[in-house]
């Protein structure tokens, strides 16, 4: 029998019979490949798989192959339909494993529509460079190891990327290098300022020594500074006396006081207070 998908039934012997197992005539379940779809193209496929008891874990990349057998039977007037779902599983060895719906152990729930789940690494796409996960190791003695972890949803090709790679690295972290550079720069600036101040002090010392050398005094002695004190033979009368000027407010009160004292001047008698030392006669 030439068919893409067919089913062969084995009939065990009845109790007490000595004959062996009988095999029924194979039945075609799929002669023609109708279409190939994915979960994104077939919206109701996930619901169907959920109803049949299949696990939906890692089902985003499932690919569904639909086959049709147009040979009608008494139970299936429109023929039989078979769906084979390929699921990526890189842990499967060889050709992988085929699972039937958990809720339909015979592979079909109505006898006409069959569904099989085929787990295989052959259903996985090939890995690209962007699919690898990069893990950078610690920098040890100027050398750093980079680990490339392949993803779980693709298979490695013949030109696969190496799992590890070594490269040179700096022992000190970047922020510490910047701190060291800033510290060194600050130290150089401070040294420059110190040299400038020392040079300036040397010039001042030179001017000081030159001033001492050109002065008329003794060696190492500067001329006397000017003072406001009186020299010998000078008298205070040579200088003008300091006069204090009364303020306008004080002069105004003195005028009022003189005006109020005019009435007392008309009295011919004047009161004089005598002290105990003055004699009465």
Q: Are residue 105 and residue 179 in the same domain, yes or no?
A: no
- Which pLDDT does position 73 carry in this prediction? 82
Other C-beta atoms lying within 10 Å of the C-beta of residue 97: 12
Query: pLDDT class for 233, splitting at 50, 70, 90?
Result: low
* Residue 279, domain member (yes or no): no
- Which pLDDT does position 12 carry in this prediction? 82
Alpha helices (runs of H) in the chain, residue ranges in sequence order: 45-52, 174-214, 248-260, 262-265
User: Cα separation of 6 and 57, whole Å?
Assistant: 29
Q: Are residue 135 and residue 90 in the same domain, yes or no?
A: no
CATH of the domain at 60: 2.70.130
Token look-up 């990349």 returns 61
Q: Are residue 136 and residue 116 in the same domain, yes or no?
A: no
Asked whether 38 and 63 are in contact (CB, 8 A), the reply is: yes
Query: pLDDT class for 67, splitting at 50, 70, 90?
Result: very high
What's the predicted TM-score (pTM) here?
0.51
* Residue 224, domain member (yes or no): no
* Residue 242, domain member (yes or no): no
* Residue 258, domain member (yes or no): no
* Residue 231, domain member (yes or no): no
User: Cα separation of 211 and 204, whole Å?
Assistant: 11
Q: Are residue 52 and residue 39 in the same domain, yes or no?
A: yes
Q: Are residue 148 and residue 90 in the same domain, yes or no?
A: no
Segment 236-263 mean pLDDT: 56
Per DSSP bridges, beta strands 63-69 and 80-88 are antiparallel
Asked whether 80 and 67 are in contact (CB, 8 A), the reply is: no
* Residue 259, domain member (yes or no): no
Q: Are residue 138 and residue 117 in the same domain, yes or no?
A: no
Nearest alpha-carbon partner for 7 in 117, 107, 118:
107
**Which conformational region is residue 23 in: left (phi greater than 0), alpha (psi within -120 to 50 degrees), or beta?**
beta
Domain count, the chain: 3
* Residue 50, domain member (yes or no): yes
Average pLDDT, rounded, for the chain:
76
Q: Are residue 109 and residue 55 in the same domain, yes or no?
A: yes
Q: Are residue 88 and residue 138 in the same domain, yes or no?
A: no
**Of 57 and 234, the one with more pLDDT:** 57
Write out pLDDT tens, residues 117-143: 999 988 888 877 777 788 887 777 778
Q: Are residue 113 and residue 148 in the same domain, yes or no?
A: no
* Residue 250, domain member (yes or no): no
User: Cα separation of 183 and 172, whole Å?
Assistant: 15
Domain around 138: 129-168
């Amino acid at each position: 029998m030439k068919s893409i998908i067919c089913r062969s039934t084995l009939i065990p012997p009845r109790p007490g019979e000595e004959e062996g197992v009988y095999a029924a005539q194979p039945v075609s379940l799929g002669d023609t490949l109708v279409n190939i779809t994915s979960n994104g193209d077939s919206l109701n496929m996930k619901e169907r798989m959920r109803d049949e008891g299949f696990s939906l874990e890692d089902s985003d990349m499932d690919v569904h192959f639909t086959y049709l057998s147009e040979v009608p039977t008494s139970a299936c007037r429109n023929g039989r339909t078979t769906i084979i779902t390929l699921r990526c599983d890189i842990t499967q060895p060889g050709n992988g494993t085929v699972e039937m719906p958990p809720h339909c152990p015979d592979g079909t729930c109505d006898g006409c529509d069959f569904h099989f789940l085929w787990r295989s690494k052959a259903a996985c796409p090939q890995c690209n460079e962007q699919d690898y996960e990069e893990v950078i190791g610690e920098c040890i003695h100027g050398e750093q190891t980079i680990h490339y972890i392949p993803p779980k949803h693709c298979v490695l090709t013949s030109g696969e990327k190496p799992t590890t790679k070594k490269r040179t690295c700096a022992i000190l972290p970047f922020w510490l290098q910047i701190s060291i550079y800033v510290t060194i720069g600050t130290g150089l600036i401070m040294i420059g300022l110190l040299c400038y101040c020392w040079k300036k002090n040397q010039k001042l010392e030179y001017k000081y020594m030159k001033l001492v050398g050109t002065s008329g005094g003794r060696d190492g002695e500067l001329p006397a500074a000017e003072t406001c004190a009186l020299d010998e033979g000078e008298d205070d009368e040579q200088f003008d006396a300091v006069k204090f000027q009364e303020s306008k407010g004080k002069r105004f009160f003195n005028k009022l006081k003189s005006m109020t004292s005019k009435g007392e001047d008309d009295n011919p008698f004047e009161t004089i207070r005598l002290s105990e030392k003055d004699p009465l006669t």
